[in-house]
């Protein structure tokens, strides 16, 4: 229980990946650090990530894997604390891990190992963690930054770090707190939106295809991703869709190549030559999963024997498969979004120290900033890198 006012060198609001890493970094410098979180359980987003095994980084992490209004902002922090630095920490604790597709690293056992590792590092660095405590407001006066706690008095600090994340997954505690603090002190916010999130169709036109998965290339604008796509009862999901959703805006078209390694024109023509009495639906069933092939033939009125198809009709069918055009009605929103795009404008923040240029002593790290990683461990790496970098200066 706090007395009326306590004094710490550093107060960190948010006990997630970025906040804990910042606390460790600052605590090892001898700073007197307290981490405050409004939830009783620490590191919930770490716990649920990667199906409970925590995709804690990616061996290919580089600035090219991040989206921001200022793509250069993340460069310095990512260089100062790399994926290989975090991997060394994981190895130090004997945590067994494995690499999945595209450089993604997961715990063999449980994401709880990463949380326990971070908490142990905090303890060794002398960091205090106060969970289940709500911050009501923050103010600045001549003596420093004052953090007012609900029913717990207040804390005076020299450095205040906002590590409260974005708006994704409100059911585990996500709020607009970080943005609200930024606005209070006059910092600009890049409009947040749900990212790494499934698409929805209002007409539920894919409901009969729910559960079908296939390898695709999804493209929106100039950006493409090749990974799995999953049909759901609401629309489309899977890694390829989550990735491209970060580049999608309402009314944008998304193009999907559902046979990325195949010359579909050549395949259909070969079927026409070798087995002309074959139904076109049967041929398409050798290219796409059967239920999806049936859907396509019904949706686009593709019927008849393959012998009856002209070259131009074959090219039209191939284009539907290789360049399927969709316009999602919406995304599933923050409820299922893995991250939040946008956030505190990085033009307001020092890329070296993470201190707000307009408000000395106030720092922002992690997802609350306008830096968003691709799917596959990149957002955790941003948390580790930004948290470690800020911890060297708070």
Predicted pLDDT of residue 3: 46
Q: How many Å apart are CA 340 and CA 195, to the nearest integer?
A: 5
Angle at 121 between CA 118 and CA 125, to 5 degrees: 140
Q: How would you label 209-223 residue by residue, b for 16+ Cβ within 10 Å and e otherwise?
A: beebebebbbbbeee
Residue 14 has pLDDT above 50, yes or no: yes
Q: How many Å apart are CA 344 and CA 350, to the nearest integer?
A: 12
The reported pTM is 0.94
Q: Tell me the C-alpha to C-alpha distance, in Å, between residue 201 and each of 51, 261, 328, 340.
A: 26, 27, 6, 21
Here the tokens at position 21 are 């890493």
Q: How would you label 78-92 residue by residue, b for 16+ Cβ within 10 Å and e otherwise?
A: beebbbeebbebbee
Residue 280 has pLDDT above 50, yes or no: yes
Here the tokens at position 298 are 């019904």
- 264-325, superfamily in CATH? HI0933 insert domain-like (1.10.8.260)
Here the tokens at position 380 are 């955790």
Report, as an integer, the average pLDDT of 174-196: 97
Contact between 386 and 365 under an 8 Å Cβ cutoff? The reply is yes
Torsion, Cα of 268, 269, 274, 280 (10° steps):
40
Residue 205 has pLDDT above 90, yes or no: no
* 240 confidence band (pLDDT: 50, 70, 90): very high
CA-nearest of 357, 359, 341, 346 to 386 is: 346
Q: Can you say whether the dihedral through the CA atoms of 245, 247, 250, 253 is positive or negative? A: negative
Topology at the third CATH level for domain 5-194+338-391? FAD/NAD(P)-binding domain (3.50.50)
Residue 4 has pLDDT above 70, yes or no: no
Q: Tell me the C-alpha to C-alpha distance, in Å, between residue 10 and each of 35, 160, 162, 254.
A: 8, 6, 11, 46
Contact between 369 and 14 under an 8 Å Cβ cutoff? The reply is no
Predicted pLDDT of residue 151: 87
Residue 86 has pLDDT above 90, yes or no: yes
Residue 1 has pLDDT above 90, yes or no: no
Tell me the per-residue pLDDT of 311-345, one tens digit each, with 9 for 90 and over: 999 999 999 999 999 999 999 999 999 999 999 99
Predicted pLDDT of residue 373: 98
CA-nearest of 272, 255, 324, 327 to 293 is: 324
Spans of all domains in the chain: 5-194+338-391, 199-259+326-331, 264-325
Report, as an integer, the average pLDDT of 167-193: 96
Angle at 218 between CA 200 and CA 104, to 5 degrees: 100
Predicted pLDDT of residue 255: 98
The CATH class of 199-259+326-331 is mainly beta
């Amino acid at each position: 229980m706090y007395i009326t006012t306590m004094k710490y060198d550093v107060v960190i609001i948010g006990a997630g990946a970025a906040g804990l890493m910042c606390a460790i970094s600052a605590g090892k410098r001898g700073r007197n650090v307290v981490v405050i979180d409004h939830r009783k359980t620490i590191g919930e987003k770490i716990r649920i990530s990667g199906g409970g095994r925590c995709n804690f980084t990616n061996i290919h992490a580089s600035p090219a894997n991040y989206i921001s209004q200022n793509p250069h902002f993340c460069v310095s922090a990512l260089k100062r604390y790399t994926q290989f630095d975090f991997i060394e920490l994981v190895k130090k604790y004997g945590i067994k891990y494995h690499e999945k597709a595209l450089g993604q690293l997961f715990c063999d056992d449980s994401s709880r190992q990463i949380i326990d590792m971070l908490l142990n590092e905090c303890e060794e660095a002398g960091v205090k963690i106060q969970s289940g405590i709500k911050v009501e407001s923050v103010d600045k006066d001549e003596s420093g930054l004052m953090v007012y706690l609900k029913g717990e008095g207040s804390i005076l600090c020299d450095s205040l770090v906002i590590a409260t994340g974005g708006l994704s997954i409100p059911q585990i505690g996500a709020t607009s707190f970080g943005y609200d603090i930024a606005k209070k002190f006059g910092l600009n916010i890049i409009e947040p939106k749900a990212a790494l999130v499934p698409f929805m169709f209002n007409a539920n036109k894919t409901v009969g295809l729910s559960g079908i998965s296939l390898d695709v290339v999804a493209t929106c604008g100039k950006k493409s991703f090749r990974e799995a796509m999953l049909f759901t009862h609401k629309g489309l999901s899977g890694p390829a869709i989550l990735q491209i959703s970060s580049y999608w805006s309402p009314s944008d078209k998304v193009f999907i190549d559902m046979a990325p390694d195949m010359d579909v024109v050549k395949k259909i023509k070969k079927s026409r030559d070798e087995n002309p009495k074959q139904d076109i639906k049967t041929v398409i069933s050798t290219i796409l999963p059967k239920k999806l092939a049936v859907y396509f033939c019904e949706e686009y009125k593709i019927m008849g024997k393959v012998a009856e198809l002209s070259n131009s009709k074959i090219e039209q069918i191939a284009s539907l498969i290789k360049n399927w055009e969709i316009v999602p009605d919406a995304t599933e929103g923050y409820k299922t979004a893995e991250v939040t795009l946008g956030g505190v404008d990085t033009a307001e923040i020092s890329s070296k120290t993470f201190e707000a240029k307009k408000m000395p002593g106030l720092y922002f790290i992690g997802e609350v900033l306008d830096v968003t990683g691709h799917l596959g461990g990149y957002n955790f790496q941003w948390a580790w890198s930004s948290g470690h970098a800020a911890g060297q200066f708070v």
